[in-house]
Amino acid sequence: MGVVVVEGTPKSGSLITARFALDQGREVFAVPGSPLDPRAQGPNNLIRDGAVLVRNVDDILDELSNEAQNYTELRQRPRAEPQVIENIDDSTLSALTQQILSEIGSGSVTVDELRRQCQVSAPILAAALLELELAERIERLPGSKISAIEGGSSAG
């Protein structure tokens, strides 16, 4: 139902996980920390960008109280078969990353718009976006938006 980030630098796995949680419509919670501690930069930035500030467990439970009922109802439904994640080779991934960069251009675009424009499955798009993000060619913005980073590294 959500992700709680306790510490992490701006490019840490914790922040990547939080971004994926947002893309999946899950709530993101963050525990604030000292602005002087580099490990607190990630959660502090998440709070600045709209994550729920967590002082104690009650903050999480209060936020999820309405979601808990929906979650209970969902768990009682029959489970669907798990999706098979497609494989993608390096050349296809490279072509897709170039297509993504051209679709974004100098503005920003939502992940859903990119998926429709590129006509790829969500897991394949997620892999390409992660590749671009790690190469510092794109950045994620609030609202599941993506924008290109000018002058990003040329890895890809």
pLDDT digits (tens, 9 = 90+) for 21-53: 888 878 899 999 999 999 999 999 999 888 899
What's the confidence (pLDDT) of residue 49?
85
What separation in angstroms does the CA of 71 have from each of 24, 26, 114?
Answer: 14, 12, 29
Which three-class secondary structure state does DSSP give residue 40?
A: helix
Parse the chain into domains and list their residue ranges: 2-76, 90-148
pLDDT above 80 for 150: no
Q: Domain spanning 2-76 has what CATH number?
A: 3.40.50
HSE (side-chain half, CA atoms, 13 Å) at 2: 21
What pTM was computed for the model? 0.45
* 126 neighbors 20 (Cβ within 8 angstroms): yes
Strands (E), the chain: 2-5, 27-30, 52-53, 108-110, 138-141, 145-148
Q: Domain spanning 90-148 has what CATH number?
A: 1.10.10.10
The answer for 126, left when phi > 0, alpha when psi is -120 to 50, beta otherwise, is alpha
The proportion of the chain whose per-residue pLDDT surpasses 90, expressed as a percent, equals 21
pLDDT above 80 for 75: no
